[in-house]
Structure 1
Amino acid sequence: MEFLGTTQLASYCGRKNSCLFPALIPVSTTKDTYCLPVYQERSCWRPVLPNRVVLTPPSSDKQFNPTERLPAVLPALRATAYSRYSTRDWHHANMVQIKESEDFRHHAGTLNADSTRLMQDKNRLTFRMQEDSRRKLGERISHIHFWRSELISELECLLKETQALETAKKRLECAAAEIQAPLTTAIECLYLREKRQGMDLVHDDVEENLLKEVDFFKDCQEMLTKLAQTIDEQLGTNRDAQHALEQDLSDKSSTRFIDEKCFNLKNTSDCIDFYHGAEKVDGTVSVPATWAKFSEDNIKCSQRARAISVKLREEAEAALESAAEDMRNLFSSTNVAFVNRIAEVADAKNKLQAQLAKILQEIFLTENTITLLERSIKAKEYPLKVAQTRLERRTRRPNIELCRDAPQFQLVTEVCTIDDTLQTLKQRLQEACDSLQILVLNKSNLEHEISVKANSFFIDKRCMDMRKLFPSTPRLAGYA
Structure 2
Amino acid sequence: MEFLGTTQVASYCGMKKSCLFPDPAPTSTTKDTYQSYYLPGYRHLSSWRPSLLHKVISIPPSSDEPFNPAGRPPTVLPTLRSALHSRYSTRDWHHANMVQLKGSEASRYWAGRLNTDSVRLMQDKDQLTYEMQEDSRRNLGERISNIDFWRSELVYELECLLRETQALETAKKRLECAVDEMQGPLKTALECLYYREKRKGIDLVHDDVEKNLIKEADVFKDCQEILAKLAQRINRQLGINRDAQHALEQDLSDKNSAHFIDEKCFNLRNTSDSINFYHGVEKVDGTVSVPVTWAKFSEDNIRCSQHARANSVKLREDTEVGLESTSEEMWNQFVSTNLAFNNRIAEVADAKNKLQAQLAKVLQEIFQTEDMIMLLERSIMAKEYPLKVAQTRLETRTKRPNIELCRDAPQYQLVTEVYTIDDTLQTLKKRLQEARDTLQMLLANKSKLEHDISVKANSFFIDKKCMDMRKTFPSTPRLIGYT
TM bracket, shorter-chain basis: 0.7 to 0.9
Tell me how far 1:431 sits from its aligned partner: 0.5
Cα 1:243/1:19, change in 2 over 3 Å: farther
Tell me how far 1:312 sits from its aligned partner: 0.8
- Residue 267 of structure 1 pairs with residue 265 of structure 2: no
- Residue 192 of structure 1 pairs with residue 205 of structure 2: no
Cα deviation, 1:126-172, whole Å, max 9, x if unaligned, reads 11111111110111111111111111111111111111111112212
Q: What's the counterpart of residue 160 of structure 2? A: 157
Contact 2:178 2:480 in 1 (8 A): yes
- Count of aligned pairs between the two proteins: 429
Q: What's the counterpart of residue 57 of structure 2? A: 44
Q: What is the CA–CA distance in structure 2 between the aligned matches of 1:82 and 1:408, rounded to whole Å?
A: 229
**Which segment is superposed worse, 287-296 or 391-400?**
391-400
Q: Percent identity?
A: 74
Q: What is the CA–CA distance in structure 1 between the aligned matches of 2:86 and 2:347, rounded to whole Å?
A: 165
- Residue 421 of structure 1 pairs with residue 406 of structure 2: no
2:405 paired residue among 369, 379, 402: 402
Q: What's the counterpart of residue 452 of structure 2? A: 449
Q: What is the CA–CA distance in structure 2 between the aligned matches of 1:19 and 1:451, rounded to whole Å?
A: 154
- Give the letter aligned to residue 25 of structure 2: L
Tell me how far 1:107 sits from its aligned partner: 3.4
2:173 paired residue among 158, 170, 175: 170
Cα deviation, 1:290-310, whole Å, max 9, x if unaligned, reads 111111111111111111111
- Residue 332 of structure 1 pairs with residue 335 of structure 2: yes
Aligned Cα root-mean-square deviation (Å): 2.9
State the SS of the aligned residue for 2:349: helix
- Residue 366 of structure 1 pairs with residue 379 of structure 2: no
Contact 2:208 2:340 in 1 (8 A): yes
Cα 1:271/1:477, change in 2 over 3 Å: same
Contact 2:22 2:54 in 1 (8 A): no
- Residue 282 of structure 1 pairs with residue 285 of structure 2: yes
Q: How does 1:251-262 map to 2 (within 5 A)?
A: 251-262=254-265
Q: What's the counterpart of residue 306 of structure 2? A: 303
Q: How does 1:306-385 map to 2 (within 5 A)?
A: 306-385=309-388
Q: What is the CA–CA distance in structure 1 between the aligned matches of 2:455 and 2:20, rounded to whole Å?
A: 146
Tell me how far 1:344 sits from its aligned partner: 1.1
**Which segment is superposed worse, 102-111 or 432-441?**
102-111
Q: What's the counterpart of residue 23 of structure 1? A: 24
Q: How does 1:7-156 map to 2 (within 5 A)?
A: 19=20, 22-25=23-26, 44-45=57-58, 61=67, 84=87, 93=96, 96-156=99-159
Q: What is the CA–CA distance in structure 2 between the aligned matches of 1:157 and 1:465, rounded to whole Å?
A: 49
Tell me how far 1:94 sits from its aligned partner: 5.0
- Give the letter aligned to residue 386 of structure 1: V
Which consecutive unaligned segments of at least 5 residues does structure 2 have? 1-17, 31-52, 60-65, 70-76
Q: How does 1:202-241 map to 2 (within 5 A)?
A: 202-241=205-244
Q: What is the CA–CA distance in structure 2 between the aligned matches of 1:128 and 1:240, rounded to whole Å?
A: 45
Q: What is the CA–CA distance in structure 1 between the aligned matches of 2:360 and 2:178, rounded to whole Å?
A: 52
Q: What is the CA–CA distance in structure 1 between the aligned matches of 2:135 and 2:22, rounded to whole Å?
A: 45
TM-score, normalization: structure 2?
Answer: 0.82
Cα 1:125/1:327, change in 2 over 3 Å: same
Q: What's the counterpart of residue 412 of structure 1? A: 415
Tell me how far 1:261 sits from its aligned partner: 0.8
Q: What is the CA–CA distance in structure 1 between the aligned matches of 2:286 and 2:24, rounded to whole Å?
A: 48
TM-score, normalization: structure 1?
Answer: 0.82
Cα deviation, 1:426-477, whole Å, max 9, x if unaligned, reads 1111000000011011111111111121122112111111111111001111
Q: What's the counterpart of residue 463 of structure 2? A: 460
Cα 1:19/1:185, change in 2 over 3 Å: farther
Tell me how far 1:220 sits from its aligned partner: 1.5
Cα 1:19/1:360, change in 2 over 3 Å: farther
- Residue 182 of structure 1 pairs with residue 185 of structure 2: yes
- Give the letter aligned to residue 274 of structure 1: F
**Which segment is superposed worse, 88-97 or 224-233?**
88-97
